[in-house]
Structure 1
Amino acid sequence: MNKKFEPLFEKVALPNKVELKNRFVLAPLTHVSSHDDGTISDVEINYMEQRSKDVGLAISAASNVTDLGKAFPGQPSVAHDSDLDGLKRLAKAMKKNGAKAIVQIHHGGAQSLPYLTPNGDVAAPSPVTLQSFDEKGEHDARTITHEEIEQTITAFGEATRRVIEAGFDGVEIHGANHYLIHQFVSPYYNRRDDEWGENKLKFPMRVVDEVVNTAKTYAEDTFIVGYRFSPEEAETPGISMEITEELVKNLINKSLDYLHVSLMDIHAKTREGKYQGEERIKLLHQWIDGRMPLIGIGSIFTAEQALEAVESNNVELLALGREILLDHRFINKIQNGKEEEIMSEFDPYREDYHDLPLDLWKQFNDGFYPLPRTDEK
């Protein structure tokens, strides 16, 4: 290995004393490859084992905690005890080469897809009409009831219990990307005039407490609990960096082991408000103030970009998303001094399809996700 890349392979200790073997994280990536009922498929096992083998922390695709929260075709489920057999296989595959294996627990809220939910039902903090994922048109989401809110909080706890029973090392609470937890924080999605609207952090904090308490009840002290969030949204009025500052300062007082910011570009700057023009990642790191590691992500396609992100001292851990899909040997190539051989562009003519599940390769080929391509030069 080129000596300058050694900082990428330093071990990282979490607050619960668990040690990660390096700074790399497999981002939670939608792979549309689980069975229709949410159980784990053989294709998914192979894909997740490949992408987990070299990272210190591997996070599964967003996994729905209730049937009402299903937001993707081929989405894995942690909503039922009947999901356990497949989850046990997945945990074993992800942990095979020394990574700590995490399940991202998720509820789509307004973004749930009517063609996947019971009776086409979709519920959100407040009524909203929107188009989500692969839909051709819009759908309506109704107001989630107080009783359903309490049931959903309990479901996050039950999902955590299943993750523990399946043998995973932890969970990541999905509070980002316009899904249910994010929606409760957002003044765009949450226009309620009850306790869940007056205090927009009440729902995410209740979910965190439910998950943490479940882990304390059923798991060892080494069980990892993380939280992912989006720092700003384009909607008006939407989540601002000022709102995120309040969120982060609440989260760092919880028994969490890391925070994970969702960004398309790790160097993205604040859109508006009193922090306008400042790098989001730098602000977040300042607010966390060393209480727990911050995972950064966004447009890391080369070894040099990875190194620069870590040496900025604004992140302790670096998640790989689109790049680890293009080349699952990304980390191995850096470790073996072959960083010049890294594939950083999507090649639609590769016979191995980048070792992607076919449905995911088709989404890449159709331009579903923005990424560099060999056929657009």
Structure 2
Amino acid sequence: MADLFTPYVLKGLSLKNRIVMPPMCQYSVQAQDGIPNNWHFVHYVSRAVGGTGLIIVEMTAIHPDGRITNQDTGIWSDEHIPAYRKIVDEIHTHGTRIGIQLGHAGRKAEDANPPVAPSAIRFDEKYKTPRALTTEEVEEMVRAYKEAARRAVEAGFDTIEIHGAHGYLIHQFHSPITNRRDDVYGQDLPLFGVEVTRAVREVVPEDMPVIMRVSAKEYVDGGYDVDYITEVCRRYQEAGVDVFHVSSGGEGHIGANGGPKAGAGYQVELAEHIKDKLDVPVIAVGRLDDFEVAQNVVLDGKADLVAVGRGMLKDPYWALHASQALQGDGKIPKQYLRGF
């Protein structure tokens, strides 16, 4: 029976444990022109030293106007590649694997003027009204994802995650709330995400898994439910997605944290639903900071991997501490043994 520390292999990706650091934007003011800097290097490498099996770099914009804010990272130019390669190479020295989340904020791009979206519907009164993309611009956006994926491969990443959650661009296309188009991308809401997936698959190695992050539930009147997104995910799976990273929210005023009533593991049943219906590996995420709660998700077969976000912001060595608590041991770096 697999537990949190059982190695995991999918295609060419081999992980030493089931612990994932999910993407979390750093909004680092030093990220000039989207290029990661020393803050990002230390931030990610410290979690590799801390024993994490897989690190997924924060949402990385495929276009300058795809950033949530201008303090965020990007990969819209070949000039970005060396900085990512430096992070990747050091992560690998600690036996950890690393992926990158490719995304575009769409109507939630705060510093874009104007932001773009499937339809000219603003997020709320605090956000700008976006400009609806033309059909040709949507096709150009697909190519931008493809080029970003090519750069990620050149930088040495082990896997790529496509961001289709939290109210950002791909989510905006497959949600009936935000997609009111009358072209092919409005007649077939998942089509944009399908085309992005196919484009990414064209430039990544055959044995590299592609992950898709989705919001399995929208906490808003008229929002979709897990049955709807499961069928959307079926389309993405057929297009080439190997793993679903299952979150929720992002539309309305309840974000990815599920709101004040969300308890530990509140999204796990959503991940389990998609796993069972599609017979596909899933990453569970959402208030899984407690070691035993995270352990039980894997022990009970509800998810293949467990992502710990806020817990790793607080504790870079979460994985080592979990290993000590659950197994009574841990592969502590020799430089830190005295502290443990």
TM-score, normalised on structure 1?
Answer: 0.78
Aligned to 1:367: none
SS of the residue corresponding to residue 193 of structure 1 reads coil
Please state if 1:112 is matched with 2:109: yes
What residue is the counterpart of 2:337 in the other structure?
A: none
Task: Say which of 269, 292, 296 aligns to 1:308.
Answer: 296
Q: In the TM superposition, what is the alpha-carbon distance from 1:37 to its structure 2 partner?
A: 1.0
Amino acid at match of 2:324: N
User: Is the Cα–Cα contact under 8 Å of residues 303 and 339 in structure 1 kept in the other structure?
Assistant: no
CA contact (8 A) 1:8 1:310 kept: yes
Deviation per CA, 1:319-340: give whole Å up to 9, x if none.
1100011111111112234899
Contact 1:333 1:339 in 2 (8 A): no
Please say if residues 248 and 287 of structure 1, whose CA atoms lie closer than 8 Å, have aligned partners that are also in contact.
Answer: no
Residue 129 of structure 2 aligns to a residue whose secondary structure is strand
Amino acid at match of 1:125: P
Aligned ranges for residues 128-167 of structure 1 at < 5 Å? 128-131=121-124, 137-167=126-156
Q: Deviation of residue 25 (structure 1)?
A: 0.6
In the TM superposition, residue 71 of structure 1 has moved relative to its aligned partner by: 1.0
Deviation at 1:170, TM superposition (A): 1.9
Report matched runs for 1:240-251 at 5 Å.
240-251=225-236
Residues 316 and 168 of structure 1: is their aligned pair in 2 closer, same or farther, counting only changes over 3 Å? same
1:122 equivalent among 109, 115, 118: 115
Distance 1:297 1:286, change over 3 A: same
43-52 or 255-264, which deviates more: 255-264
Which residue is equivalent to 1:372?
none
* 1:21 paired to 2:16: yes
Residue in structure 2 matched with residue 329 of structure 1 by the alignment: 317
- Matching residue of 1:261: 246
TM-superposed CA distance for 1:239, in Å, is 2.4
Does residue 202 in structure 1 map to residue 194 in structure 2?
no
Alignment partner, residue 217 of structure 2 = 232
Q: Which amino acid aligns with 2:21?
A: L
Picking from 253, 264, 272, the partner of 1:282 is 272
Structure 1 residues 318 and 145: alpha-carbon distance in aligned structure 2, compared to 1, 3 A threshold: same
- State the AA in 2 paired with 1:200: L
Deviates more, 1:292-301 or 1:178-187: 292-301
Question: Which residue of 2 is the match for residue 299 of structure 1?
Answer: 287
In structure 1, what residue type is equivalent to 2:295? Answer: L
Displacement after TM superposition at 1:8 (Å): 1.0
1:180 counterpart residue number: 169
Paired residue secondary structure (1:55):
coil
The equivalent residue for 2:80 is 83
Which residue in the other structure is 2:331 paired with? none
Query: 2:83 & 2:296 partners in 1: Cα distance?
Result: 38
| Secondary structure, counterpart of 1:242 in structure 2 | helix
Aligned residues with identical type, % of pairs: 27
Aligned residue number for residue 365 of structure 1: none
For residue 307 of structure 2, what is the aligned residue in structure 1?
319
Q: Which runs of 5+ in 2 are unaligned?
A: 249-256, 258-262, 329-340
Distance in 1 between the 2:269 and 2:290 partners? 21
Aligned match of 2:90:
93
150-159 or 30-39, larger mean C-alpha shift: 30-39
Is the 1:296–1:315 Cα contact (8 Å) retained in structure 2? Answer: yes
Aligned to 1:31: 26
- Of 51-60 and 296-305, more deviation after overlay is shown by 51-60
Corresponding letter in the other structure for 1:121: P
Q: Distance in 2 between matches of 1:139 and 1:170?
A: 34
* 1:296 CA displacement: 0.3
Q: Which amino acid aligns with 1:309?
A: V
Aligned letter for 1:12? Y
How far apart in 2 are the matches of 1:261 and 1:255?
17
Distance 1:331 1:174 in 2: 25
SS in 2 for 1:7: coil
Distance 1:229 1:146 in 2: 23
Letter paired with 2:304: E
**Aligned residues of 1:103 and 1:170 also touching (Cα < 8 A):** yes
Compute the displacement of 1:252 (Å).
Answer: 2.8
Please give the alpha-carbon distance, in whole angstroms, between the structure 2 residues aligned to 1:336 and 1:189.
46
Does the alignment pair 1:8 with 2:15? no
